[in-house]
Amino acid sequence: MKISIYTMGGTIDKIYFDDLSDYTVGSPQVGEILKEAHGAFDFEVHEVLRKDSLHLTDEDRAMLRARIEADPCPFILVTHGTDTMADTAKALMGLPGKTIVFTGALSPARFKGSDAGFNVGCAVGAVQSLASGVYICMNGVVFEAGKVRKNRDAGRFETVE
Amino acid sequence: MKISIYTMGGTIDKIYFDDLSDYTVGSPQVGEILKEAHGAFDFEVHEVLRKDSLHLTDEDRAMLRARIEADPCPFILVTHGTDTMADTAKALMGLPGKTIVFTGALSPARFKGSDAGFNVGCAVGAVQSLASGVYICMNGVVFEAGKVRKNRDAGRFETVE
Amino acid sequence: MKISIYTMGGTIDKIYFDDLSDYTVGSPQVGEILKEAHGAFDFEVHEVLRKDSLHLTDEDRAMLRARIEADPCPFILVTHGTDTMADTAKALMGLPGKTIVFTGALSPARFKGSDAGFNVGCAVGAVQSLASGVYICMNGVVFEAGKVRKNRDAGRFETVE
Amino acid sequence: MKISIYTMGGTIDKIYFDDLSDYTVGSPQVGEILKEAHGAFDFEVHEVLRKDSLHLTDEDRAMLRARIEADPCPFILVTHGTDTMADTAKALMGLPGKTIVFTGALSPARFKGSDAGFNVGCAVGAVQSLASGVYICMNGVVFEAGKVRKNRDAGRFETVE
């Protein structure tokens, strides 16, 4: 089995330097997570962007769609900021023959107690088990694209009808 | 969605005291893992045993099968020691209407860099995505019961034909 | 033995929420650190400010000096942002009968691999071992106030003559 | 400043493999701890033994004493199992011109929430601040050799008159 991974930035990849610099989106953490978890499958990490997801544009989403469409791998995992993850997932709907699963994190992967490792695990488990389509794995729940939103106040994702 | 969780012990739950103590199997860690990951689904943890999986007997496996058979929940997650996980998975085959996913860890959940959080995430993602049957999620791979073994030397699970 | 602890904010106490939030200075972490380390001495945490140390004023420093001067405890530990730690340490010189040790962190205490626990340990070890005076414990080195600066480029503290 | 470090094994260095192997004393963790803490001083790690401290003999202690006596460095740090740390500390008393500080951990350095980083920090802060002599830094307290014991039931070190 091989999973093709696209990284768009977001909280999962946020790093911190010191008093002057606050935070910034760093290099993709998903490879580190898979290495630490002793993942026994092939994967390729494609670093697409290092953006806070609030700054993603329609062009960014079109570019991601084009890259995934051109990728022969049927199993696609996307790491992405949480604020507009639902929008980007929707923008990838309709690509035949591919199971595309988005995930990210509510606290940076480099934090103690981050949800990043669990979330990537959840996405990896789902991507190889689901039929073709676009999904979001957050808070341990597999949501279908187009039927999910982030509830900022509650700090979690939820189904929307 | 609700997931019913059965804990059998194993490395994932191993704790450590001090020079006079060995590691022993402690209380189930899966609830802590789901809490830390902000799981947004219902779950119930049934603590069955606190055994190193090398010490599990046929009676233990029959008892687990009976308890899961009597459980109306269709989504079942089992945390289990890795050495005989494949045997117990096989012993649960043939229960209709249930997706049963086993997971565990190669290093205790309380260790820095443990694979436990990732593995539980993987099992949670798989259990709600797969058809009925019995599966093992280890090393980021979903294996079917009866077609998987632990390769002790390589320190990972692999398909067996 | 009792240690009286004053917290001024800084990187050690920085927390993180999500894409819409910056890191902000949260509640003091030093108490959590001492609890996790099974500290077997009395301590009292006085939360003074939650400031990035670049924003500390002369009034803030005068207020800290007055509070410590009025504190009968001979062992004083101050957690503080690193950028102006050397300035605040200097501003506390000349208080008789007190050993005052500053520490902080280059990465937030809540990060994996943070230096916060080590640094607080170093300060705790030093404060009960040194003669009266004002000191900074960073990078595992005990510096005297007035003879130390932060080298931002190198990311560490160093002696200045 | 340079610190010469001797490692004797003990809980701080305990590692864990999997169901069959339980635990064992692994390679010294103190160097990893100092690296992670961005220690800005010179140090040399001398790996002496990898023993659970209950198995240390009088010969082991005599050998450690001889090695430290022959070491020109005035600042000596010893990592050691906790159960007989007090005995070994006593066995090193009377070496002139040296400040010798013992430390270790109640939970392995590789555990989440281990006291190892804090304890090593405490020992590093103390060793460069104290007069010649032999000391133990555990639970954030600097004890003099000959006046300290481990209270196993309470899980901490305490002064003995």
A8: closest CA among A77, A97, A93? A77
Query: CA–CA separation, B71 vs B68, rounded Å?
Result: 5
Q: Do B111 and D16 touch (CB under 8 A)?
A: yes
Instruction: Determine the average pLDDT of the residues in C46-75.
Output: 96
C24 — pLDDT class (breaks 50, 70, 90): confident
Chain C positions in Cβ-Cβ contact with residue D106 (cut-off 8 Å):
38
Match 């009377």 to its residue by tokens. D94
What is the residue type of D67? R
Tell me, what DSSP letter sits at residue D70?
T
Chain D positions in Cβ-Cβ contact with residue C128 (cut-off 8 Å):
126, 141-142
What is the pLDDT at residue B75? 98
Q: Do C118 and D123 touch (CB under 8 A)?
A: no
Q: Do B126 and A129 touch (CB under 8 A)?
A: yes
Q: Do A111 and C112 touch (CB under 8 A)?
A: yes
Chain D positions in Cβ-Cβ contact with residue C122 (cut-off 8 Å):
121-122, 124-125
* Helix orientation angle between C116-127 and D116-127, rounded to the nearest 10 degrees: 40
The CATH code of the domain that includes C56 is 3.40.50.1170
Tell me how close the Cα of D156 comes to any Cα of chain B, in angstroms: 11
Match 């659970």 to its residue by tokens. D52
Answer whether residue B78 shows pLDDT above 90: yes
Tell me, what DSSP letter sits at residue A109?
T
What is the residue type of C34? L
Query: CA–CA separation, C104 vs C127, rounded Å?
Result: 14
B153 — pLDDT class (breaks 50, 70, 90): confident
What is the pLDDT at residue D19? 44
Residues of chain A with pLDDT under 50: 19
Chain C positions in Cβ-Cβ contact with residue D40 (cut-off 8 Å):
138-141, 156-158
What is the pLDDT at residue C17? 55
DSSP-derived pairing of the beta strands B14-15 and C148-151 = unpaired
Question: For residues A157 and A87, is the Cβ–Cβ distance under 8 A?
Answer: no
Question: For residues C12 and C105, is the Cβ–Cβ distance under 8 A?
Answer: yes
Entry pTM: 0.89
C156 — pLDDT class (breaks 50, 70, 90): very high
Q: What is the pLDDT of residues B99-122, one digit of tens each?
A: 999 999 998 898 888 999 999 999
Q: What is the pLDDT of residues B32-54, one digit of tens each?
A: 999 999 999 999 999 999 998 99
Chain A positions in Cβ-Cβ contact with residue B115 (cut-off 8 Å):
36-38
DSSP letters spanning A19-87: TTT-EEE-S--HHHHHHHTT--SEEEEEE-----GGG--HHHHHHHHHHHHT---SEEEEE--STTHHH
This model of the complex carries an ipTM of: 0.95
Query: CA–CA separation, D62 vs D59, rounded Å?
Result: 5
DSSP-derived pairing of the beta strands B148-151 and B156-159 = antiparallel
What is the pLDDT at residue D151? 93
What is the pLDDT at residue D68? 98
Range of the domain at A123: 2-159
Give chain C's length.
Answer: 161
Total tally of structural domains belonging to chain D:
1
Query: CA–CA separation, D121 vs C105, rounded Å?
Result: 13
- B115 to chain A: nearest residue by CA? A37
Question: For residues D129 and C130, is the Cβ–Cβ distance under 8 A?
Answer: yes
Answer whether residue C19 shows pLDDT above 60: no
Match 């096989």 to its residue by tokens. B90
What is the pLDDT at residue D22? 59
Neighbouring-strand partners of residue A99: A75, A133
Question: For residues A14 and A80, is the Cβ–Cβ distance under 8 A?
Answer: no
Nearest to D110 among B23, B81, B112 (CB): B112
What is the residue type of B151? N
